[in-house]
Amino acid sequence: MSETMKAAVYYNNSDIRIEELPVPEINDDEILIKTITCGLCGGETMEWYHIKRSPKVMGHEPGGIIVKAGKNVKDFREGDRVFVNHHVPQFTSHLSLRGHFTRDETYRKSKLNPGAMCQYFKASAAHVTNGTYKLPDELDFETASLLEPWGCVMGGLKVSGIQPGDTVVVVGCGFMGQGFAHISRLFGAGLVFACDFSDWRLEKALSLGASHTINPSKENAVEKLRSLNGGRRADVVIVTVPLVKVLEQGFALAETGATIHMNSPTPPEQLMSFSPSDMYDREMTFTTKYSADHYDIYQLLRFFMANRLEPKKVITHRFELEGIVEAFGLLAGGLEKGGESLKSIIYPNGMN
């Protein structure tokens, strides 16, 4: 193995470089993974969030093969096919013991070293113990790279309080929205409405299990929802677009007694006005879920193994590491530049 490797290093949204970095060295309790695939995440385009931490190696959705294992590592060995979650909590903290694993202060501090958008990364002892999952032979690496982002979907659906037969509206049908539309059926959803400005994305959502579509640029969203839902609005509204104006549309689509789930953070300078009295009177619930915890990942992995989901339908592009700028442009460009794009998978060691 070479002592150096290629890595995609983020400086800002307009400056991502392929650089040579040292291959990480491991201690007796760690493992070194050769990255086969790494998904590109929509959250990586949030410049306001990432620029204060730059330069940084991108990537937190890896599937790979263990090439070195420390002598104290008992449950994994060289050659194992694995997914490694990017963060792990400290399980005995107050927040973890109350079920908020992803808000435990240790969670954010624990990271893949140096990131996963590179040829090799190492997993710490904590990651080895609490965040590394062996992949069954029938599960390919591309699907493994969806475990973290759709693990966030699992976590979001679990806090959204879907009851059997509930009408669900998913506002924003990019990659994460497709996941919410697709997986919500496994949580008992009845009618599932996909809401987006892109007819291509809406058709994709139908193929993944949505029952109806709404294009707000062409029709009144609330009126169409009511016309197909017995005169009512939605029981659960899931907003995947990180903009306050879209979140406000989500509130307009919610019936009395509904839950509104916010999937991704809005820029911190954006503020929202609403009436607490109206929320109280309508018995509304507002939920968030910061990231995927170990339960979410394991449960999604089992759904994948049971062939209950169709993850390959959302993978639209594949690139080698040198194509990261093009892939990032597709993701950051929105509907106009992204076109028929949902999920890009990067192959840091090449596709062959």
Is 304 within the bounds of a domain?
A: no
pLDDT at 56 over 80: yes
- pLDDT of 337 reads 57
| Residue at which a domain ends, from 258, 288, 318 | 288
**23 and 121 part of one domain:** yes
Is 135 within the bounds of a domain?
A: yes
**173 and 209 part of one domain:** yes
Can you give the residue range of the structural domain that contains 71? 4-145+310-347
Helix (H, G, I), strand (E, B) or coil at 200: helix
Alpha helices in the chain (DSSP H): 47-50, 94-97, 105-109, 125-130, 141-144, 147-159, 175-183, 199-207, 221-228, 244-252, 276-281, 294-305, 324-332, 334-338
**212 and 235 part of one domain:** yes
Q: Can you read off the two tokens belonging to residue 256?
A: 């009395």
How many domains, the chain?
Answer: 2
Is 301 within the bounds of a domain?
A: no
Q: What is the CATH number of the domain that holds 227?
A: 3.40.50.720
Residue 49 pLDDT grade (very low, low, confident, very high; cuts 50, 70, 90) = confident
Q: Which long-range contacts (CB under 8 A, 24 or more apart) does 245-251 make?
A: 246/171, 246/172, 247/272, 248/272, 249/171, 249/216, 249/221, 250/169, 250/171
**113 and 170 part of one domain:** no
Q: What is the CATH number of the domain that holds 97?
A: 3.90.180.10
Q: Which of 47-51, 66-70, 182-186, 290-294 has the lowest mean pLDDT?
A: 47-51
Q: Which string of DSSP letters, residue by residue, matches 142-179?
A: HHHTTHHHHHHHHHHHHHTTPPTT--EEEE--SHHHHH
| pLDDT cut 90: percent of the chain above it | 93
Is 299 within the bounds of a domain?
A: no
Residue 155 pLDDT grade (very low, low, confident, very high; cuts 50, 70, 90) = very high
Going by DSSP bridges, is the β-strand pair 212-214/192-195 parallel, antiparallel, or unpaired? Answer: parallel
**138 and 158 part of one domain:** no
**21 and 139 part of one domain:** yes
Q: How far apart are CA 331 and CA 40, in angstroms?
A: 8
Is 95 within the bounds of a domain?
A: yes
Whole-structure pTM value: 0.96
Q: Which string of DSSP letters, residue by residue, matches 96-143?
A: HHTT-GGGSHHHHH---BS-SSBSEEEE-HHHHHHTEEEPPTTS-HHH
**Between 241 and 49, whose confidence is greater?**
241
pLDDT at 335 over 80: no
**70 and 101 part of one domain:** yes
Q: Can you read off the two tokens belonging to residue 51?
A: 């620029």
pLDDT digits (tens, 9 = 90+) for 81-124: 999 999 999 999 999 999 999 999 999 899 999 999 999 999 99
Mean pLDDT over the full length of the chain: 96
Is 210 within the bounds of a domain?
A: yes
Burial 98-131 (b: 16+ CB within 10 A, else e): eebbbbbebbeebbbbbbbbbbbbbbbbbbbebb
- pLDDT of 336 reads 60
pLDDT at 338 over 70: no
**137 and 161 part of one domain:** no
Contact between residue 2 and residue 119 where contact means Cβ atoms under 8 Å apart: no
**55 and 83 part of one domain:** yes
Going by DSSP bridges, is the β-strand pair 254-262/234-239 parallel, antiparallel, or unpaired? Answer: parallel
DSSP letter, residue 244:
H
**170 and 104 part of one domain:** no
- pLDDT of 333 reads 80
Is 295 within the bounds of a domain?
A: no
**72 and 125 part of one domain:** yes
**248 and 232 part of one domain:** yes
Pick the closest to residue 315 from 39, 120, 16, 124 (CA basis). 39
Is 296 within the bounds of a domain?
A: no
pLDDT at 158 over 60: yes
Q: Can you read off the two tokens belonging to residue 119?
A: 């040829």
